[in-house]
């Protein structure tokens, strides 16, 4: 079992939901968050503007490992077609136990 954390600007909500629905995800949750980028380089291109809060979404997905690669491929494909600085970001966390 894996935990996926996906962040995206609010404008990408429909697309992220569509990716999840068509990638084996049976359920997920999401919430509004404020993205912020300082002038530091470690978050380069995470958010498009410096020192500005961005209305974003954080998706939380618990999923079987076999579906993870498909989600990454779909997100990478979506990002490659964007003409904006903002992209969908995803991180995977291995779960030791869950109930």
What is the pLDDT of the chain when averaged over all its residues? 87
Q: Comparing C-alpha atoms, which of 40, 55, 50 is closest to residue 8? A: 55
CATH architecture of the domain formed by 2-94: 2-Layer Sandwich (3.30)
Amino acid 50: pLDDT: 56
Q: What is the mean pLDDT of residues 42-48?
A: 50
pTM for the structure as a whole:
0.83
Amino acid 85: pLDDT: 81
Amino acid 45: pLDDT: 52
pLDDT over 70 for what percent of the chain? Answer: 85
- pLDDT range class, residue 97, cuts 50, 70, 90: confident
Q: Does pLDDT of 46 surpass 70?
A: no
Q: What is the mean pLDDT of residues 55-79?
A: 95
Residue 42 or residue 35, greater confidence: 35
């Amino acid at each position: 079992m894996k935990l996926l954390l996906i962040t995206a600007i609010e404008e990408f909500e429909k697309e992220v939901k569509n990716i999840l629905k068509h990638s084996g995800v049976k359920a997920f949750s999401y919430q509004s968050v404020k993205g912020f980028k300082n002038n530091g380089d470690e978050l380069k291109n995470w958010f498009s503007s410096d020192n500005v809060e961005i209305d974003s979404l954080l998706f939380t997905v618990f999923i079987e490992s076999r579906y993870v690669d498909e989600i990454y491929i779909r997100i990478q494909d979506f990002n490659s077609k964007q003409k904006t600085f903002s992209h969908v970001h995803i991180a995977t966390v291995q779960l030791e136990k869950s109930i």
